[in-house]
Amino acid sequence: MGLVILAGIGCHGSGPTAGVFDVPVDGAELPIIWEKTGIYSRINRPIRLVIHDEAALAQVPIAEVQVDFRTHMLLIAGMGPVLRDDVGIRITRLWREGTRIRVQEQHVYSEAAGPEGIQPASPWTIIAVPRSSLNVEGYSARVPKGLLSDHPGSR
């Protein structure tokens, strides 16, 4: 099991409540409100996204989620295509460091292959956290063009 600490691209709130978010004190952890993970997706490259609205979320339809974007934002991490389905990704911790939010991820490896053996996959995780106007280091608010496509790890 390995830990990866990421670094990033600026992300700021938009819409009617832009700039009216609570900013955690330096060193404070942000709570993870809920989490969804999966092994298979059409994500065709490693990604780190912060989602502030429904329009951006609609560009990354990997799971059904319900979120109030006035008070929350989503972080999406995807590994992209991998050769095995016994690996996953989780966001385990977020905290404020200076003028940014830092993210800690964990790549998760199973000790045994599933009943069908090892198959190509494209693991992902989505978490909801309290909305913040701080930059999320390593995460972009811009969904890259061509992010989703069919590949051996998609289902």
Whether residue 16 lies inside any domain: the answer is: no
The answer to whether residue 45 sits within a structural domain is yes
- Residue 41 falls inside a structural domain: yes
- Which residue range forms the structural domain that includes residue 67? 2-11+28-136
* pLDDT for residue 14 is more than 80: no
Flag whether 57 is in a domain.
Answer: yes
Indicate the number of domains in the chain. Answer: 1
Quick check: is 122 in a domain? yes
Q: What is the CA radius of gyration of the chain?
A: 16
For residue 19, tell me if it sits in a domain: no
Which pLDDT does position 13 carry in this prediction? 39
Most confident of 7-16, 50-59, 115-124: 50-59
Residue 21 lies in a domain: no
* pLDDT interval class at 76 (50, 70, 90): very high
The pLDDT, as a whole number, for residue 9 is 31
Query: What are the residues whose beta carbons fall under 8 Å from the beta carbon of 15, sequence distance 6 or more?
Result: 52, 53, 69, 70
- Per-residue pLDDT band for 151 (boundaries 50, 70, 90) equals confident
Q: pLDDT digit string (tens) for 91-147?
A: 999 999 999 999 999 999 887 655 566 789 999 999 999 999 999 999 999 999 999
* Domain-located, residue 150: no
Q: What is the pLDDT of residues 35-44, one digit of tens each?
A: 999 999 999 9
